[in-house]
Amino acid sequence: METLEFTLDENRIGTIFLNRPPFNPLNTQLFQELSTLLDKLEADPLVQAIIITGKGDRAFAAGADITEMMNLNGAEMLEMSRVSRIAFDKVEAMSKPVIAAVNGLALGGGCELALACDFRICSSNTKFGLPEINLGIIPGGGGTQRLPRIVGLAKAKELLFFGEMITADKAAEIGLVNKVVELDELLNETKLWAEKLAEKPRVAMKMLKTAVNRGVGVDLNTALDLETACFGNAFASEDRKEGMKSFVEKRMPQFVGR
């Protein structure tokens, strides 16, 4: 890979680095490489949780690569948007937990990538923004849809319509991020979260993510039907038997991932 780096540690935590420093702009090649890598990680039983972060300390990703975008015609831009959507949708749909470790600027597509993750932990120097309106366009990587679901409609419109950046503390205040830490603590703190998540039973985690992510976009009765189906799948797993048995026997469960 030319635009990404990947590491896997002994705790089964895979870390994806956006590798186009210093600002890690998102281009078509990065979207394609991310999509391919996510397919491999989804199928790899050695990977139990995933962290996405930016190379360096200045930016998670300071948006899409404007130098690429400005030379595209309408059809080509739609194709770039299609490729980015595939990658971001895969981030959201991963059966394994995905945490964005946001270091520095997270603007435009960078903010949208973070929104597709299950959790966002950011450094105190982080600034978030969706400035597309100031370029005469709108977000095209899920920002208009995922942001309202996370922070609520009024706050989402404020960020989208004004196109201004907000600080890490403000992002935490409105629920955009789960936690703010100092930059030198960011990866360690994110890995602590990832390690705890990696210990959870795999089938139940997959069913839990499915119920939450799909249920939020449908009416309540349909969502409850989905929850029931996901509950049934989790209950049929070997890990459910081990989880309940270990609880009765007052010991730590030994989940096998099926």
pLDDT at 211: 97
**Candidate CATH numbers 3.30.70.20, 1.10.1240.10, 3.40.50.300, 1.10.12.10; the one for domain 202-248:** 1.10.12.10
User: Residue 66: its pLDDT value, please?
Assistant: 84
Q: Are 211 and 227 in contact (CB under 8 A)?
A: yes
For residue 4, the Cα-to-chain-centroid distance in whole angstroms is 16
In this structure, are residues 108 and 139 in contact, taking their beta carbons and an 8 Å threshold? yes
Residue 215 has pLDDT above 90, yes or no: yes
Listed in sequence order, the DSSP H helices in the chain are 28-43, 66-69, 74-93, 109-116, 143-151, 153-162, 168-173, 186-198, 202-215, 220-235, 238-248
pLDDT level of residue 25 (50, 70, 90 thresholds): very high
- Peptide bond preceding 22 in cis form (omega within 30 of 0): yes
Q: Which residue has the tokens 């680095």?
A: 17
Give the mean model confidence (pLDDT) for residues 130-139. Answer: 94
Q: Band the pLDDT of 257: cuts 50, 70, 90.
A: confident
Query: In the prediction, which pLDDT does 158 show?
Result: 98
Confidence of residue 134 (pLDDT cuts 50, 70, 90): very high
Is pLDDT at 10 greater than 90 in this prediction? Answer: yes
Determine phi and psi for 104, rounding to 5 degrees.
85, -145
Spell out the residues 6+ positions from residue 34 whose beta carbon is closer than 8 angstroms to its own: 4, 16, 87, 90, 91
- The side-by-side arrangement of strands in the sheet containing 127-129 is 59-61, 105-107, 127-129, 166-167
With a cut of 90, say whether residue 78 has pLDDT above it.
no
98 has a pLDDT exceeding 90: yes
* pLDDT value of position 182: 97
Q: What is the DSSP letter of 201?
A: -
User: Which amino acid appears at position 127 of this protein?
Assistant: K
Q: Is 187 helix (H, G, I), strand (E, B) or coil?
A: helix
Helices 109-116, 74-93: crossing angle, 10 deg rounding? 30
Report the catalytic residues. 112, 132
Q: What's 4-198's CATH class?
A: alpha beta
* pLDDT tens-digit series, residues 37-52: 999 999 999 999 999 9
Give domain limits for the chain: 4-198, 202-248
- Given pLDDT bands bounded at 50, 70 and 90, which one contains residue 64? confident
Contact call for residues 12 and 49 (beta carbons, < 8 A): yes
Res 69 pLDDT > 90: no
Please, what is the average pLDDT of the chain?
Answer: 95
Is 63 strand, coil or helix? coil
Q: Does the pLDDT value for residue 67 go beyond 90?
A: no
